[in-house]
Structure 1
C-alpha cells in the first residue's frame, strides 16, 4: 500500500507523498498537452472563462460556493464560483465563435470522495453547427489518446477493466434499464413528457430497489441508475449512455427521434462517469422553465435557490445550433495514468477537515 493511500489528502506536500504522486502528475501534464494539440489540430480555439459569476448554474443537486462582491460604494452583491464554464462558453458561441475548448477550474460544494474534489478541472468543448454525434467520436478518440500518452494499454479501476482503444458502445437509457434492471423505462413517460411515478416505482421495487414514500420519478430513476446500471458501464470497453429521458434533459434539446428523450449522453469507463454532453437547447422559454423548476425543487429539498443568469438566457436567443461536452479532466487522468484516487493526479488538492 502506497503512502498516498494511508495519509490524509491534506498532507500531499510531504516529500514522500509527493514522490509517490509525481509520476501521475507528470502524466497529467503530458495528457493535457496532447489534448490541447488534439483540439488545435481540429481548428478549435482555447478560451479562458471567469470563475466568478452571478449564477453558478441551476441544476437541483449541484451546490456552489458563494462569496460577496463589494463595490467601491461599499455595497455588496452575492456572486458564486461557477460549477461549470458552460454559461460563459455559450455566450462566446453567441458572440460568433465556432469551435472552442477550455480547461476550467470549477467548484462544487458537498463533493469529496475518491472520485470527487470540491475544486477540480473541467474540460469543456463546443462545436457550433454540429450534432452531438461528433462529440461521441471526440470522446472515443480522446480516451484512446489519454491512455496512450499515460502509458496504459488497459484502464483498470476497482476491479473493472476497459479497453480505451476499442470504439465505445452506444447504449440508450431505455436499453440500459432493460438490460441491467429488466425495466421498461419509456413506458413510464408519455409522448407529452408526462411521468408515471407509480408505474416506475412498481418496476423499481420488482428490480429490488428500496424506495421512500416521497421519492419522485426522478429520484427513482436516479436510484436505479446508480444501483443497477452505472456499476456495469464501461466494462470491457467504454460506454456512451445516451438518449436521456426528457425530464433529465438539463440543458439538452429534445431528440428528433422521440419526444420522450433528449440529446444527452454520458461517457463511462470502468464504472466511472467521465463526460456529460448535450445537443444544446436554444429555446429560451423552455430553458427558463427548466431552470425555474429545478430551483423550485432545490428550494424544496435544500432550502436554497440560485439566481438565473439573465445575460445567459439573452445570449441563448442568438446562439447558433451547437453541441457541447464537459469532461472531468482529473478523472480521465486518474484512469489513464493508473491512479486510484483523484487527489493523486491534482498538483495541489484542496484541504478539508481538521
Structure 2
C-alpha cells in the first residue's frame, strides 16, 4: 500500500484530511500521560544519540558521528529504542518510569512502518511481567475511549478494545495454527535444533531453504501461519517466546526453554513487545554477541555493545518493561489506514 495521497503532507487540503487523525493523536497523548501519572509513574526524557542503537540482529540504525573539540571522532547512533537509557535510570534508583520516545529505524517504510516514530516505553521495578499485560489492556481501552470508538478496524479485521485480550503461548500457537511442536526443537538450556524445526515447518507447508537457521524458520512460520490469525475479535497476547527469540528477557522460572516475553496484537497488527527484564550482565553480553554475529552473517555489519549498559545492568533491580508502538495504537483508535495519516510531519521520501 502506498501513501494515501501523493501531495505533500503540508498541502492544506491533505492536512485537512489528516487533521481528525492528528487531533485524535493529541487527545490520546494527553490521556496516556494522565494514565501513567495516575499510576505514580515519572515521565523521563533520554538521549536520542547513543553509543549503541541496540543489539538485535534485524534492527537497522541511522549512524552519525561525534566530533570532539580536538577533532577526535567516534560513531554515534540514533536510538532504535530508549531501552538502554531507561534501564540505566532503573539502576540509578527510579522505580516506575515512562517515555514517549522518538526513535529511528532504517530500512523500514510502509503502511505500518516509518523511519522515525514514537515508542511508548514503561518500566515497573519489582513487578511481574503479567502486570504489563494488564497495562496493555488498559491502554487499549483508554485509546478507544479517548478517540470515541467502540471498535478497532484495520484491513478487514475488527477488535473490541474493551474485551479482555486472549492469552496464547508460542507453543500453543505453533501447534494450533501450524501443527508444529515448537518446543521439540528447543533444548532444556534454550539451545535450538534447526533441522528439527525445518522438517516440521516443511510438513506444515512452509517453504524452507537448505541454509535456513532455526530463527529463519521460526520467523517464517510466525509470519505466514500465526500473525495473520492474531488479534481478531479481541486483542491477543502472544507469550512465552523461546529464549533464543527474547534477547533481553529473563527465562521463565518454571521452564527455562522459554522467556518472559509477550507481544500484543490487534487486527493482526503487532502493537507492543514486553519483557520480564534480564538483569544478568554476563548472559546479556552472550546474547548480544550472538545477535551481532547473526547480523554480521546476514547483513555484513554489526553494532557496538554498550559497556556502560552492561555495567548498569549489574545494579538494576528486578523489573518488567514494555515498548508499545504509539503511532500504531493511534492508527487503530482513530480509524487510520496508513501510519503517515497520524504523523504531524512525516519524513520526506528519498
TM-score by length of 2: 0.98
Task: Identify the residue that residue 350 of structure 1 maps to in structure 2.
Answer: 347
Instruction: Look up the match of 2:25.
Output: 28
Q: Is 2:5 the partner of 1:6? A: yes
Pairing partner for 2:79 from 74, 78, 82: 82
Aligned counterpart, 1:255 = 252
In 2: Cα distance, 1:156 partner to 1:206 partner: 34
For 1:196 and 1:122, the matched residues in 2 are separated by 34
Q: Write the distance in 2 (CA, Å) between the matches of 1:163 and 1:16.
A: 32
Q: Partner residue of 1:164?
A: 161
The answer for the alignment partner of 1:93 in structure 2 is: 90
Cα separation, 2, equivalents of 1:279 and 1:259 = 13
Structure 1 contact 27–337 (Cα < 8 Å) conserved: yes
SS of 1:143's equivalent? helix
Worse-superposed segment, 263-272 or 148-157: 148-157
Correspondence for 1:265 among 255, 262, 266: 262
1:5 is paired with a residue whose SS is coil
- Inter-CA distance 46–191: structure 2 relative to 1 (3 Å threshold): same
**1:89-138: per-residue Cα shift (whole Å, max 9, x none)?**
00000000000000010000000010000000000000001011110000
Mapped partners of 1:75, 1:322: distance in 2: 38
Q: 1:218 maps to what in 2?
A: 215
The equivalences for 1:99-248 within 5 A come to 99-248=96-245
1:174-200 residue CA offsets vs partner (Å, 9 max, x unmatched): 011111111110111111222121111
Q: Which structure 1 segments of 5+ residues have no match?
A: none
**Residue 311 (structure 1) aligns with:** 308
Q: Is the 8 A contact 1:4 1:21 kept in 2?
A: no
RMSD: 1.0
Q: Number of matched residues?
A: 349
- 1:302 corresponds in structure 2 to 299
State yes or no: 1:328 paired with 2:292.
Answer: no
Distance in 1 of aligned mates of 2:71 and 2:3:
46
308-317 or 205-214, which deviates more: 205-214
Of 272-281 and 207-216, deviating more is: 207-216
Q: Is the 8 A contact 2:5 2:14 kept in 1?
A: no
> In the TM superposition, what whole-angstrom CA distance separates every residue of 1:26-85 from its partner, at most 9, and x where no partner exists?
000100100101100000000000000000000000000001111110111110000000
Which shifted more, 318-327 or 69-78? 69-78
How many Å separate the matches in 2 of 1:302 and 1:278?
A: 26
Q: Offset of 1:4 from its aligned partner? A: 6.4
